[in-house]
DNA sequence: ATATTGAGGCTTTTT
DNA sequence: GCCTCAATAT
């Protein structure tokens, strides 16, 4: 994440699992706290200021993670707390893992002894399971993902007779999620908002949804926090026990916290109150101020009643985590909470993150010490200057000035091209150049604003045979086959899990269609029993046609058998049995489509991953929260990802294509969020630039195909916001002569009129020609793309996996053999003369001998 | 109960 | 243009 740890490795060999182990070791290692010696003064202050609230404003590349981990080490070594008394929260599992790893390096052992280091959600979930009965759940509750949520909501909408065309379930899911992000229980949703969906029924359905979740013994992601807050509010003694336990609280990426997370932290960070006493000033009354994101720092515009935020502020003041009774207010100092973040890297506002949280930290935690980390150890001078100058255009920020002692390095380049295809071509060439120059491709990334931009690059890289990996597609457990398999296991584990049962009742096809499921639903509702029990009851009657009745009976019997078996066999074995006996594996084996093999691999991987858990229960508890282990490093490859997923990463060479108005900044964000949106986009640009260590290269195209139609675009306003001194305008090497004159004018980039709208230009024609390319049916969403590379070969192991989609262009065994006659969209017919992995050398009848990648030809 | 065709709809996505 | 979902035909 930042520079490699240079901390002395003071290992103590033997591993003691007890609580005291790490602390003792840390203390022993700390006669003179050497771990402090590599820190600069600000970092050191951030580490050593243990008492009272601390906000560390850590700009990009300033050693944020290092401060956090060192601080933990310091707390332990000073004997201020034992490992289980430190609450340390991150947003991602990846960040949590990273911290554990670094801590381990620092303290010389794996950090099993830090039980409360994890993501908001996993810690929230853990607390919730411990006290599940207090929030009307059982400790083995299921964590639903978005898909399950939407399906459940769809049912509720139907029950309410709401046209789900006009009021899509997905939209309601988003709405409910946003309410939960803001810490609002159904009865707390402002009535105006509650009524805004489904002819006034939105709020009611939210309430019903929550009730249904309890019946299903399930919680969604939002509940992991919201129900936790409710738990604390309704059970002060429980809250107190956690307040007592956590002597120190550390929060990573504080700028990304939403209101619910904020409330949760506030509750825990309050000094424990005596029994019977309410918390003091838990929440300042005006937390939801009109000046939410982006309006900050500027005039708050309180009179502007049109703004939804303003409306919200008046309608829904933040709920007090604990109701404060009059006369019981009492000042008690907030606990030792340390939040680390960077307001300039807040890019998840649209997901409920509240930049305001970080901006008003000092107000929320009186007496807070604010420490700025401004020494950047990552980027060269020009890059840093460009990024800083750009972000300075934002108004709602706390303000930091990043500086570096590094050399100026190369200027940031800006390159225009005729269209997006040429852009990909130009970048492809530069990549090859870097490769020839001996750069490690692992240190090269292409960061796009929107994932649809990736396709063009993939096409290009495949043609060039340049190894790349896509980072960030659907997660492992979001894949259909994984979710199906999990649904089987969930149904076994928890017979009341209707959503799981419904998912697999007719997968594979058993002749149990909509009609059957509908009748099961009716039956279940009437008798108030789970679907599965309804199924058991219904097969005893003759309400179903013999055929459906037979297969439903078989299914019920199978589940009974599997449940019995689950008592005596290991969970991995059980999974294999279930996948086999249910016919699920067979279904994919029979499937002739290209990705079937990849899916089977994924299923195997799933079973393999189960081994790490004690039992089925433990596995299911973790799967939806922490199933994102990193893929193995694999071979050298360029990384292709969105700007969002690049946060926290760094690369020597960073390519930033698509800097055009409408795309970046995104028109939609501008429309929906106005200036706040623009500022968030600008932060995104800042994040992009600051990922680069040595070279940052920006691109824009004059023509881009969006949703299938070509449109002419104008260069991003962000380009004009870059400091001329640190930027170099270059010509596209992609060919077709975009002779960017480079003149700095009112806008340096607006000399586009000269290109007019000619639809007969080479670029356009080339784009046309390419449109129908992708022969061999190679196209499709992430999943299919992934599988088109991985299909059919287990030799190299599943290519992806673990969490992130990692498509690769090399490393598979070709399905072609020598002398096969093949067809290529562009080059026509030919035959294979050489095979090298997935790269084929083909002698084309017309075009001569060419090297191509196998996915671009088909056997004829 | 399932295969096929047509009408909208589209960003970003840590959990 | 490409994918998903829902209405149609088999």
Domain-terminating residue out of A198, A216, A234: A216
A776-788 tens-digit pLDDT: 222 222 222 332 2
State pTM to two decimals: 0.78
| HSE (side-chain half, CA atoms, 13 Å) at A566 | 20
Of A122, A91, A32, A432, nearest to A254 by C-alpha is A91
Of A731, A750, A774, the residue at which a domain comes to its end is A731
Residues lying close to strand B (Cβ under 7 A), chosen from 433-452 of chain A, are 449-452
Residue A330 has pLDDT above 80, yes or no: no
Among candidate residues A148, A220, A252, A681, the one labeled active-site is A252
The answer to whether residue A604 sits within a structural domain is yes
Q: Residues of A forming the annotated binding site for ATP?
A: 58-65
Q: Is the CB of A780 under 7 A from strand C?
A: yes
Shared domain for A565 and A638, answered yes or no, is no
- Number of domains chain A contains: 5
Q: Map tokens 């380049």 to a residue.
A: A413
pLDDT at A110 over 60: no
CATH of the domain at A579: 1.10.486.10
CA–C1' gap, A593 and C5, in angstroms: 21
My answer on whether A178 and A190 are in the same domain is yes
Residue A452 lies in a domain: yes
**Cβ-based neighbours of A471, under 8 Å, separated by 6 or more:** A639, A640, A641, A645, A804, A805, A806
Q: What confidence category does residue A325 fall into, taking pLDDT thresholds of 50, 70 and 90? A: very low
Strand, coil or helix: what is A829?
strand
> Would residue A1 count as lying in a domain?
no
Q: What is the pLDDT, as a whole number, of residue A840?
A: 66
Identify whether A576 is part of a domain: yes
Q: Answer yes or no: do A653 and A704 share one domain.
A: yes
Answer whether any strand C atom is within 7 A of the Cβ of A708: yes
Let me know whether A250 and A354 are in one domain: yes
User: Quick one: average pLDDT of A89-101?
Assistant: 91
Is A267 found in the same domain as A368?
yes
- pLDDT in the model for residue A688: 97
User: What is the spatial distance, in angstroms and rounded to an integer, between the CA atom of A514 and the C1' atom of C10?
Assistant: 18
User: Hey, what are A660's tokens?
Assistant: 């055009």
- DSSP string across A262-278: HHHHHHHHSPPPPTTPP
Are A258 and A405 within one domain? no
For A295-300, the CB contacts below 8 A with 24+ separation are: A295/A396, A295/A675, A295/A676, A296/A355, A296/A356, A296/A359, A296/A395, A296/A396, A296/A397, A297/A359, A297/A395, A297/A396, A297/A397, A298/A395, A298/A396
pLDDT of A753 reads 29
- A481 and A431 within one domain: no
Q: Are residues A236 and A122 in the same domain?
A: yes
Give the model's pLDDT for residue A334.
63
Longest dimension (CA), chain A: 91
Q: Are residues A134 and A201 in the same domain?
A: no
| Stated length of chain A | 860
| Residue whose CA lies closest to nucleotide B10 C1' | A707
Higher pLDDT, A622 or A233: A233
Start-to-end C-alpha separation, chain A: 48
In a domain, residue A572? The reply is yes
Residue A64 designated active-site: yes
Assigned domain for A281 exists: no
- Least-confidence region, from A420-424, A483-487, A756-760: A756-760
Mind listing the pLDDT tens digit for each residue in A44-56? 999 999 999 999 9
| Residue A767 in domain | no
Instruction: Protein contacts on strand C: list nucleotides below 7 Å from a Cβ.
Output: 1-4, 6
Q: Is A812 a catalytic residue?
A: no
Q: Check residue A435 and give its pLDDT.
A: 94
**A767 CA from C1 C1′ (Å):** 13
Percentage of chain A lying above the pLDDT 70 cut: 73
Same domain, A79 and A107: yes
User: Residue A744 above 80 pLDDT?
Assistant: no
Give me the catalytic one of A10, A25, A44, A64: A64
Summarised one tens digit per residue, pLDDT across range A120-133 is 999 999 999 999 99
What CATH number is attached to the domain comprising A727? 3.40.50.300
3-state secondary structure of A237: helix
Residues A549 and A667 in one domain: no
The three-state (H, E, C) secondary structure of A542-591, written as one string: CCCCHHHHHHHHHHHHHHHHHHHHHHHCCHHHHHHHHHHHCCHHHHHHHC
* pLDDT at res. A285: 34
Looking at residue A200, which CATH number applies to its domain? 1.10.10.160
Sheet holding A821-824, edge to edge: A848-853, A839-844, A828-836, A821-824, A857-859
Last residue of a domain, one of A705, A731, A757: A731
Range of the domain at A489: 477-611
Q: Same domain for A452 and A489?
A: no
Domain membership flag for residue A753: no
pLDDT tens by residue, A488-541 = 999 999 899 999 999 999 989 998 888 888 889 889 989 999 999 999 999 999
């Amino acid at each position: 994440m930042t520079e490699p740890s240079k901390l002395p490795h003071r290992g103590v060999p033997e591993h003691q699992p007890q609580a005291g182990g790490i602390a003792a070791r840390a203390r022993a290692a700390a006669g003179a706290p050497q771990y402090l010696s590599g820190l600069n003064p600000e970092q050191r202050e951030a580490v050593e200021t243990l008492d009272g609230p601390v906000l560390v404003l850590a700009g990009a590349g300033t050693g944020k993670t290092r401060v956090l981990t060192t601080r933990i080490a310091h707390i332990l070594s000073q004997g201020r707390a034992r490992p289980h008394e430190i609450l340390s929260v991150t947003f991602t599992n990846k960040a949590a893992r990273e911290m554990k790893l670094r801590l381990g390096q620092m303290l010389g052992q794996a950090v099993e002894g830090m039980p409360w280091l994890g993501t908001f959600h996993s810690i929230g979930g853990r607390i919730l399971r411990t006290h599940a009965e207090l929030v009307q759940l059982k400790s083995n509750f299921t964590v639903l993902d978005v898909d399950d949520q939407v399906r459940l909501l769809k049912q509720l909408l139907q029950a309410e007779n709401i046209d789900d065309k006009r009021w899509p379930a997905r939209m309601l899911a988003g709405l409910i999620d946003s309410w939960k992000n803001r810490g609002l229980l159904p009865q707390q949703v402002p009535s105006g908002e509650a009524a805004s969906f489904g002819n006034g029924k939105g709020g009611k359905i939210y309430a019903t949804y929550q009730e249904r979740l309890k019946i299903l013994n399930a919680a969604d992601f939002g509940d992991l926090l919201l129900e936790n807050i409710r738990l604390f509010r309704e059970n002060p003694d429980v809250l107190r026990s956690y307040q007592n336990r956590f002597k120190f609280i550390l929060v990573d990426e504080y700028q990304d916290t939403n209101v619910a997370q904020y409330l949760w932290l506030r509750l825990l960070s309050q000094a424990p109150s005596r029994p019977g006493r309410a918390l003091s000033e838990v929440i300042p009354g005006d937390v939801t101020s009109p000046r939410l994101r982006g309006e900050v720092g500027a005039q708050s515009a309180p009179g502007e009643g049109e703004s939804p935020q303003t409306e919200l502020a008046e309608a829904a003041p933040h709920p007090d985590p604990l109701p404060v009774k009059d006369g019981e207010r009492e000042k008690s100092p907030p606990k030792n909470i340390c939040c680390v973040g960077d307001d300039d890297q807040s890019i998840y506002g649209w997901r409920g993150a509240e930049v305001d949280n970080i901006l008003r930290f000092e107000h929320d935690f009186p007496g807070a010490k604010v420490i700025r980390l401004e020494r950047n150890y990552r980027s060269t001078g020009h890059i840093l200057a460009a990024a800083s100058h750009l972000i300075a255009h934002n108004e709602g920020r706390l303000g930091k000035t990043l500086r570096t002692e590094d050399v100026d390095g190369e200027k940031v380049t800006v390159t225009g091209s005729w269209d997006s295809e040429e852009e990909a071509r130009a970048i492809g060439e530069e990549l090859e150049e870097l490769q020839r120059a001996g750069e490690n491709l692992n240190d090269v990334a292409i960061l796009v604003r929107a994932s649809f931009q990736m396709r063009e690059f993939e096409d290009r890289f495949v043609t060039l045979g340049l190894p790349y990996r896509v980072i960030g597609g659907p997660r492992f457990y979001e894949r259909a086959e994984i979710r199906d398999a999990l649904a089987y296991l969930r149904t076994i584990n928890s017979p009341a899990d209707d959503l799981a049962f419904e998912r697999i009742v007719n997968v594979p096809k058993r002749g149990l269609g909509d009609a059957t499921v509908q009748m099961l639903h009716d039956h279940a509702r009437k008798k108030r029993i789970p679907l599965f029990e309804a199924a058991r009851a219904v097969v005893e009657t003759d309400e179903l046609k013999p055929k459906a009745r037979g297969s439903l009976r078989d299914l019920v019997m199978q589940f009974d058998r599997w449940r019995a078996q689950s008592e005596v066999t290991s969970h991995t074995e059980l999974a294999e049995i279930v996948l086999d006996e249910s016919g699920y594996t067979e279904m994919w084996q029979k499937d002739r489509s290209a990705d079937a093999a990849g899916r089977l691999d994924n299923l195997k991987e799933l079973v393999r991953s189960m081994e790490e858990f004690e039992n089925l229960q433990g596995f299911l508890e973790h799967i939806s929260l922490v199933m994102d282990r990193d893929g193995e490093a694999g071979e050298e490859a360029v990384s292709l990802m969105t700007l969002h997923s690049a946060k926290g990463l760094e690369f020597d060479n960073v390519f930033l294509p698509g800097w055009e108005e409408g795309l970046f900044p995104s028109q939609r964000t501008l429309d929906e969020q106005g200036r706040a949106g623009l500022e968030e986009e600008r932060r995104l640009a800042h994040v992009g630039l600051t990922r680069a260590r040595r070279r940052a290269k920006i691109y824009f195209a004059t023509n881009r195909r969006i949703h299938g139609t070509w449109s002419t675009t104008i260069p991003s306003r962000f380009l004009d916001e870059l400091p001329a001194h640190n930027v170099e305008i270059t010509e596209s090497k992609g060919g077709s002569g975009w002779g960017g004159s480079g003149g700095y004018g009112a806008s340096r980039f607006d000399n586009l009129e000269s290109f007019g709208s000619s639809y007969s230009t080479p670029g356009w024609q080339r784009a046309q020609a390419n449109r129908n390319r992708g022969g061999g049916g190679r196209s499709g969403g992430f999943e299919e793309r992934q599988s088109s590379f991985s299909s059919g070969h287990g030799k190299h192991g599943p290519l992806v996996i673990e969490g992130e989609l990692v498509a690769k262009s090399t490393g598979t065994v070709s399905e072609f053999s020598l002398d096969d006659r093949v067809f290529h969209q562009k080059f026509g017919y030919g035959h294979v003369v050489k095979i090298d992995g997935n790269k084929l050398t083909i002698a084309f009848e017309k075009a001569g001998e060419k090297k191509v990648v196998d996915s671009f030809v088909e056997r004829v």
